[in-house]
């Protein structure tokens, strides 16, 4: 019913606001705000695919004279779109040769066999994979492995004791929450990060390198995941008196079933390692070779082309990735990036961001209080709405607020964007939450009880980052 209502409500709201404007703004600004309202309505209700909604600027902006089709279309071909495309191809290669599963099992095997160590192993493995592949894929990989370990605890009568239930809950929630938090660590780890990078490059000519983001994102992810681990295992669901030596045997068996590392896996691992190396040391390489002009997007696309073009076996012409494999790529996310950037460009070109800037500047607001409220707003709204869509709409507004407060854009935009990936309360908030909820081991009330605690902790961490950490790095 909500989808049906949203389907008609979106264009109705657009028409009403265009016909009877509530604000004393230019016609162009009214059009952009009206379109934003239409898009938000469809995004919240999911009346149509969020990626289809992201195509609306291609129609509305040229029709109402906001931008030409060429100017709108350029946003859908932004460099940040191709950066993520290369990341998607790399993730696809890792999954195709099963290297992601081998990495996950190896990490779990190394962490130990006591219940809390097993939980920690699952969390570290999930978080590490979420830095490079989608959080959905990393959760899907980890879930069957986790279920196998949990089944070792089931008694002959098939009933879990309270301690065993606590262990199961901690494993499931640990996987979901680590998948969400792990993606924050890198530019390609979660789409909202890339939406922000694209906005900064397109509108403000500010570039954040892969390494620069990791300097902020990785420590934040590590601290958050560490806190999640202690909240789950020491506070909410402490598991005591459980012993199971066979879990190590199970992990060893699953590793053995994979067999020795294959030449294909080694091939992907080499390209993966080289790509990460270039991303991290790009600035140093450019300083040594000033004429090179290496960028994160160039590296990403180079990685993708290498996976397509460098054969695993030259004699047989055996390539790791064929174009047919790209059917599995999240093309819709790439379109969503473009739609978000187009909307941001429309807000900028029609003066909306300037109006927000002037309003905030004249209001004389407290900087810390305003930033805290924006972080809270983003974090709790993302429980109900796609975080990519939310960042696409709110990031230009937050940029205007930052300018009005006369603080550097990055100080406010980075923590607010990171807040969009800190949705831990509800199953529908993120795909990892939904996947572990569907396993049957987690109730909504249990996820919400732990999630609200971690949400509050995330807000505190992000406010501290805004106040203390980001000014040191940027």
One DSSP character per residue, 240-294 reads: -S---THHHHHHHHHHHHH-SPPHHHHHHHHHHHHHHHHHHTHHHHHHHSTTS--
- State how far the Cα of 307 lies from the Cα of 327, in Å rounded to an integer: 16
Residue 314, helix vs strand vs coil: coil
- State how far the Cα of 295 lies from the Cα of 282, in Å rounded to an integer: 7
Compute the average pLDDT of residues 407-427. Answer: 92
Q: Which residues pair with 318 in a beta bridge?
A: 313
3-class SS string, 83-120: HHHHHHHHHHHHHHCCHHHHHHHHHHHHHCCCHHHHHH
Compute the average pLDDT of residues 107-115. Answer: 78
Question: Is the whole model's pTM more than 0.85, yes or no?
Answer: no
How high is the pLDDT of residue 271? 92
User: What is the percent of the chain where pLDDT is above 90?
Assistant: 33
Give the number of other CB atoms < 10 A from CB of residue 188.
Answer: 26
Q: Mean pLDDT of all residues in the chain?
A: 87
- State how far the Cα of 112 lies from the Cα of 234, in Å rounded to an integer: 18
Give the number of other CB atoms < 10 A from CB of residue 74.
Answer: 16
Q: Which residues pair with 313 in a beta bridge?
A: 318
Answer yes or no: are the C-beta atoms of 268 and 94 closer than 8 Å: yes
Query: Which residue, 86, 78, 76, 74, is CA-closest to 296?
Result: 86
Compute the average pLDDT of residues 293-320. Answer: 85
How high is the pLDDT of residue 339? 87
Query: Which residue, 349, 262, 360, is CA-closest to 313?
Result: 262
Least confidently predicted of 17-26, 334-343, 358-367: 358-367
- State how far the Cα of 270 lies from the Cα of 343, in Å rounded to an integer: 39
- State how far the Cα of 218 lies from the Cα of 223, in Å rounded to an integer: 9
- State how far the Cα of 211 lies from the Cα of 65, in Å rounded to an integer: 40
Count CA atoms closer than 13 A to 179's CA, side-chain side.
27
How high is the pLDDT of residue 156? 41
Q: With left for phi above 0 and alpha for psi between -120 and 50, is residue 251 left, alpha or beta?
A: alpha
Token pair recorded at residue 234: 């020491």
Q: Is 209 exposed, middle or buried (0-12, 13-18, 19+ CB in 10 A)?
A: middle
Q: Is 314 exposed, middle or buried (0-12, 13-18, 19+ CB in 10 A)?
A: exposed
Start-to-end CA span in the chain (Å): 47
Residue 318, helix vs strand vs coil: strand
Least confidently predicted of 37-41, 301-305, 381-385: 381-385
Q: Taken in order 357, 363, 366, 368, is the CA torsion positive or negative?
A: negative
Secondary structure letter of residue 183 according to DSSP: G
Answer yes or no: are the C-beta atoms of 28 and 61 closer than 8 Å: no
Q: Is 78 exposed, middle or buried (0-12, 13-18, 19+ CB in 10 A)?
A: buried
H/E stretch holding 214 reads: helix 210-230
H/E stretch holding 169 reads: helix 162-182
188-243: pLDDT as tens digits: 888 899 889 988 988 888 988 889 999 999 999 999 999 999 999 988 888 776 66
47-80: pLDDT as tens digits: 888 889 989 999 999 999 999 999 999 989 888 8
How high is the pLDDT of residue 243? 65
How high is the pLDDT of residue 157? 46
379-399: pLDDT as tens digits: 988 887 778 888 888 888 899
Answer yes or no: are the C-beta atoms of 67 and 345 closer than 8 Å: yes
pLDDT band at 111 (very low <50, low <70, confident <90, very high): confident
pLDDT band at 160 (very low <50, low <70, confident <90, very high): low
Residues 6+ apart with CB under 8 A from 50: 42, 43, 332, 336, 386, 388, 389
Q: Taken in order 192, 197, 201, 205, is the CA torsion positive or negative?
A: positive
């Amino acid at each position: 019913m909500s989808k049906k209502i949203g389907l008609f409500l979106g264009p109705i709201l657009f028409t009403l606001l265009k016909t009877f404007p509530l604000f004393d703004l230019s016609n162009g600004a009214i059009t952009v705000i009206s379109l934003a309202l239409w898009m938000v309505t469809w995004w919240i209700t999911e009346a149509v695919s969020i990626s289809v909604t992201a195509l609306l600027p291609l129609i509305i902006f040229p029709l109402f004279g906001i931008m030409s089709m060429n100017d709108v279309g350029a946003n859908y071909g932004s460099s940040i779109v191709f950066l993520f495309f290369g990341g998607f191809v790399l993730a696809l290669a890792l999954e195709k040769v099963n290297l992601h599963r081998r990495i996950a099992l190896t990490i779990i095997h190394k962490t130990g066999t006591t219940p809390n160590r097993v939980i920690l192993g699952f969390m570290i493995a999930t978080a590490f994979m979420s830095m490079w592949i989608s959080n959905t894929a990393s959760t899907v990989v980890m879930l069957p492995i986790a279920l196998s370990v949990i089944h070792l605890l089931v008694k002959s009568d098939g009933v879990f004791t309270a301690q065993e239930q606590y262990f199961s809950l901690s494993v499931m929630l640990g996987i979901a929450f680590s998948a969400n938090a792990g993606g924050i660590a890198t530019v390609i780890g979660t789409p909202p990060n890339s939406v922000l990078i694209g906005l900064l490059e397109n509108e403000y000519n500010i570039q954040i390198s892969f390494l620069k983001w990791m300097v902020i994102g990785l420590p934040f992810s590590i601290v958050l995941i560490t806190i999640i681990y202690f909240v789950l295992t020491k506070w909410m669901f402490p598991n005591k008196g459980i012993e199971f030596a066979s879990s190590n045997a199970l992990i060893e068996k699953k590793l053995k079933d994979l067999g020795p590392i294959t030449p294909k896996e080694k091939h992907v691992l080499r390209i993966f390692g080289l790509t990460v190396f270039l991303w991290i040391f790009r600035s140093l390489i450019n300083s040594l070779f000033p004429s090179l002009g290496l960028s994160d997007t160039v590296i990403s696309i180079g990685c993708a082309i290498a996976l397509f073009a460098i054969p695993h076996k030259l004699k047989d012409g055996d390539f790791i990735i064929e174009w047919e494999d790209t059917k599995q790529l999240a093309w819709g996310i790439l379109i969503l990036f473009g739609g978000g950037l187009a909307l941001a460009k429309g807000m900028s070109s029609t003066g909306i961001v300037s109006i927000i800037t002037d309003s905030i500047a004249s209001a004389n607001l407290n900087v810390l209080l305003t930033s805290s409220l924006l972080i809270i707003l983003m974090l709790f709204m993302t429980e109900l709405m796609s975080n990519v869509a939310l960042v696409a709409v709110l990031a230009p507004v937050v940029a205007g607020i930052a300018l009005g407060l006369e603080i550097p854009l990055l100080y406010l935009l980075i923590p607010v964007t990171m807040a969009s990936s800190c949705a831990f309360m509800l199953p529908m908030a993120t795909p990892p939450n939904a996947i572990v909820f569907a396993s049957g081991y987690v109730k909504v009330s249990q996820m919400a009880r732990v999630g609200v605690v971690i949400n509050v902790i995330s807000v505190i961490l992000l406010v501290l980052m805004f106040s203390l950490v980001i000014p040191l790095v940027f």
